[in-house]
Structure 1
């Protein structure tokens, strides 16, 4: 996450879908504690759970022995969720456009597009193993 954010919460989960409820509980707690606007909560929930799902499926390849780490940073006007996996990373600079006609019927490929649509900013680092999703309060 960018400089200037204060770490306010963190969570480490195994790479399985049973752990998603812990992430949802963290999102609930963070949004309540930071007094995030109620109509913005859905954006946070969808974008962050999408990032965690990507980390579990694509990053850690559903390997239960590998963790997904979630950190929450806070600033005066905004906050962020950092989601990190232990996979090999990916080329986040050359993603296919999910709105292109040839991609419309594909089952995958919309997650990052969705995150970018719901958040103020989405930044990748560590060869794509870490994503920071930024939201206004």
Structure 2
């Protein structure tokens, strides 16, 4: 199992550091371009949610990214220091009144792409855990 970790400031500019890490993981483990795109989308949504909605851009708070290559699965964990949210309050992005809204698709996309998505809420923050089957390039 290969493990990669990163501590992030509550700033959207940190996404560039995340992208660099994910591209390096993809090259090392021979991810297909489509799989890399899916992973990048999942991690970007999760880290953006942690910084924007969880930590509310509070520079005194951080987010943490953990990635693991677990055989044929890729595990992603993003943790923030925010108060959390109620999954039942997340609007359906496919509802007609939400179709043209510029945001609100992150949780939906994660659930559509990943094999497993789980949220844990605690006084210390929110953690999202994502598992997705790896698609590798054939040698």
Fold equivalence (TM over 0.5): yes
Aligned pairs for 1:1-137 within 5 A: 6=1, 8-127=3-122, 129-137=126-134
Which piece of structure 1 moves more, 96-105 or 57-66?
A: 96-105
- Matched residue count: 132
Give unpaired runs (5+ residues) of structure 1. 1-5
TM-score, length of structure 1 as denominator length: 0.87
Deviation at residue 115 of structure 1 after TM alignment? 1.7
Deviation by residue 1:78-132 (Cα, 9 ceiling, x = unmatched): 0111000000011124422110112223232111111222222221112571111
Kindly report structure 1 stretches of 4+ aligned residues shifted beyond 6 Å.
none
TM-score, length of structure 2 as denominator length: 0.86
Which piece of structure 1 moves more, 104-113 or 47-56?
A: 104-113
**Partners of 2:4 and 2:104 in 1: how far apart?**
29
Q: Residues 77 and 93 of structure 1: is their aligned pair in 2 closer, same or farther, counting only changes over 3 Å?
A: farther
**Partners of 2:131 and 2:88 in 1: how far apart?**
18
Structural RMSD (CA): 1.7
SS of equivalent residue, structure 1 residue 129: strand
